[in-house]
Chains A and B, each alone.
Chain A
């Protein structure tokens, strides 16, 4: 962290650290055991592992009967997530610019609409989208889910991008147009490069939510050929015949690793989006 704000010298930080540490214990235990359980076995009824093993990871090289290969599912998830990220970035970076800078009719109305949609209960959309996709034949296809997921996250994207565009000085654009550049060139070559960090943050955010998405693919594309990791894991857990927390956790760790890596490296960007980015 670059800007270090010092805690007050007048108040000891030990008690608050101890208190918060205690309260954070459940989370720490959960995540510690998430990792630990995937590579160890313990006696029944015991919480202390007694042997190291890789057996819980055998789903990586053995495909269970009736299940898709984990690698196919991972590839699906990756394609799914990248497409979502791409669509969100493209659509919101354009629409955000329009709402921030260009003179289009009903601009204020559109912006208000985006804010209202931002808080839209997705369950209302799923029910009718489910039926719409069945009608137009995109049911059980990744394309359908990608479009729907991108659409659901898009209002936030537009809203964030609009906020970032607002911080680019008008003079840059004025200079661009008197230098003879069209508005499109101004956007492409002068404004977009200024908000690279924002695009990066939104891309990251979209990637993470896309990677984590469960309910949309579950409802709209339950077929095994288009399964994504979240649905795969959920179906594993829901399958009562093979109940094995350690394997679930191994699949879970496999699934969550990209998220954790991105999180560790880009924590600051993400904090901005999850906290400040949603500011109205």
Chain B
């Protein structure tokens, strides 16, 4: 089912959290709401499931306007960060609860619970209490409970935040598998870009109550609209250099680095600029040479990571295949791949 937020605004008292937000999630699509904490992504999620009411604007499920419907009538499934399992009920009662409150016949509930439990692989745990389950198992119960009544939309609020690293990896693919198998429209709220990029069809990046960009993960990585987006995606993160425009080229503050970029044609000389270089675009292969001193070197097994300090004090990160000829303190002369460099205006918009 398609989800549409139309000029959605939300404020608490006098604090406005979200203003005039528009967002469309296609039917069967999984979308990530990605952003730092406090950017309004959880507020958006709570508004979609009806725990919060929008101050203005509309929320549509398909063609149905649910803006003023209470949660109980919206048919949404939610997996909370803490899972919010009912501690006094068994796994079976937990999963069946959404049906119980709809007064579905007990035998039907049992059948459906068995089915959904098999789907999330917890059919052997039905008699346990939540406190007797591991984090991953609790997560599966929460998923099963959210899915059992075939909701129009599945909302996941930081579902992996409370898991350890290994389980996180496992549940990442598990959630994606379930979403694909059920064909349900899903929205994932997270502050972890890896989660967003690996699990979702599209990502909506949010910053202080606004959606900065909506795109597929690869589009967003390769074509960030703002410096914020470029900085948020990618690990290790992108490096930024300060400079000015001069004759269609980017010139660093000390003037030593000059890079002609097609995006800069028609930009007035002296305009303040920020250059963004991803670590993989700075290394031996780059076309614009830069000299600096290695102040940080770390191997990650397959690749090495370096920080290079330029004469003006700014730092560029580099990631390269493993090599052992460069050590801390070495003077290096590597190149930036100018085709892949991003240049941003002072307000952060990409040029």
Q: A174-B78, A175-B78 are in contact. Are A180 and B98 (CB under 8 A)?
A: yes
A171 to B98, CA, bound (A): 15
Residues of A within 8 A of B51 (CB): 174, 177-178
Contact of B145 with A179 in the complex, beta carbons under 8 Å: yes
B70 interface residue per 8 A CB criterion: yes
Contact of B78 with A178 in the complex, beta carbons under 8 Å: yes
The 8 A CB mask of B71-90 against A (1 = contact, 0 = none) is 11011111011111111100
The 8 A CB mask of B58-70 against A (1 = contact, 0 = none) is 0000000000001
Residue of B nearest to A172 (CB): B84
Contact of B102 with A193 in the complex, beta carbons under 8 Å: no
A190 interface residue per 8 A CB criterion: yes
Contact of A177 with B84 in the complex, beta carbons under 8 Å: no
A194 interface residue per 8 A CB criterion: yes
How extensive is the interface on chain B, given as a class?
Answer: 20 to 34
B101 interface residue per 8 A CB criterion: yes
Q: A174-B51, A174-B78, A175-B78 are in contact. Are A181 and B101 (CB under 8 A)?
A: yes
A15 interface residue per 8 A CB criterion: no
A276 interface residue per 8 A CB criterion: no
A185 interface residue per 8 A CB criterion: yes
A26 interface residue per 8 A CB criterion: no
Contact of B98 with A179 in the complex, beta carbons under 8 Å: yes
Contact of B88 with A193 in the complex, beta carbons under 8 Å: yes
Q: Which residue of the partner chain, among A171, A180, A185, contacts B84 with CB atoms under 8 Å?
A: A171
Q: A172-B86, A193-B88 are in contact. Are A180 and B102 (CB under 8 A)?
A: yes
Residues of A within 8 A of B50 (CB): 177-178
- Majority secondary structure, B binding face: loop
- Min Cβ gap A255→B in Å is 37
Contact of B82 with A171 in the complex, beta carbons under 8 Å: yes
Instruction: Enumerate A159-173 residues with CB–CB distance to B below 8 Å.
Output: 169, 171-172
Contact of A177 with B87 in the complex, beta carbons under 8 Å: no
> Most chain-B CB neighbours within 10 Å: which of A175, A177, A182, A193?
A175
Contact of B149 with A174 in the complex, beta carbons under 8 Å: no
A213 to B51, CA, bound (A): 45
- Min Cβ gap B117→A in Å is 16
B342 interface residue per 8 A CB criterion: no
- Min Cβ gap A169→B in Å is 7
Q: A172-B86, A175-B84, A194-B87 are in contact. Are A180 and B149 (CB under 8 A)?
A: yes
- Min Cβ gap A173→B in Å is 8
- Min Cβ gap B153→A in Å is 11
Chain A interface residue count, CB cutoff 8 Å, equals 16
Number of A-B contacts (CB under 8 A): 59
Residue of B nearest to A181 (CB): B101
Contact of A174 with B72 in the complex, beta carbons under 8 Å: no
Q: Which residue of the partner chain, among A177, A182, A190, contacts B86 with CB atoms under 8 Å?
A: A190
- Min Cβ gap B140→A in Å is 15
Residues of A within 8 A of B82 (CB): 169, 171
B113 interface residue per 8 A CB criterion: no
Residues of B within 8 A of A181 (CB): 72, 97, 101
A172 to B80, CA, bound (A): 9
Contact of A177 with B80 in the complex, beta carbons under 8 Å: no
Instruction: Enumerate B122-147 residues with CB–CB distance to A below 8 Å.
Output: 145
Q: A174-B84, A194-B88 are in contact. Are A180 and B101 (CB under 8 A)?
A: yes
A176 to B85, CA, bound (A): 9
Contact of A178 with B77 in the complex, beta carbons under 8 Å: yes
A176 to B97, CA, bound (A): 8
Residues of A within 8 A of B101 (CB): 179-182, 185
Residue of A nearest to B75 (CB): A180
B49 interface residue per 8 A CB criterion: yes
Residue of A nearest to B70 (CB): A177
Q: A172-B84, A175-B84 are in contact. Are A180 and B72 (CB under 8 A)?
A: yes
- Min Cβ gap B320→A in Å is 45
Residues of B within 8 A of A194 (CB): 87-88
Residues of B within 8 A of A193 (CB): 86, 88
> Most chain-B CB neighbours within 10 Å: which of A175, A176, A178, A194?
A178
Residue of A nearest to B101 (CB): A181
Q: A169-B82, A171-B82, A185-B101 are in contact. Are A178 and B76 (CB under 8 A)?
A: yes
B: residues with CB less than 8 A from A are: 46, 49-51, 70-72, 74-78, 80-88, 97-98, 101-102, 145, 149
- Listed by A's residue number, 6 A-B pairs whose Cβ atoms lie within 8 Å are A171-B83, A177-B50, A178-B76, A179-B145, A181-B72, A190-B86
Known contacts A174-B46, A179-B97; can you find 5 more A-B pairs with CB under 8 A?
Answer: A175-B84, A180-B75, A180-B149, A193-B86, A193-B88
Going nearest first, the 6 A-B pairs with the smallest beta carbon separation are A171-B84, A175-B84, A179-B98, A193-B88, A181-B101, A177-B71
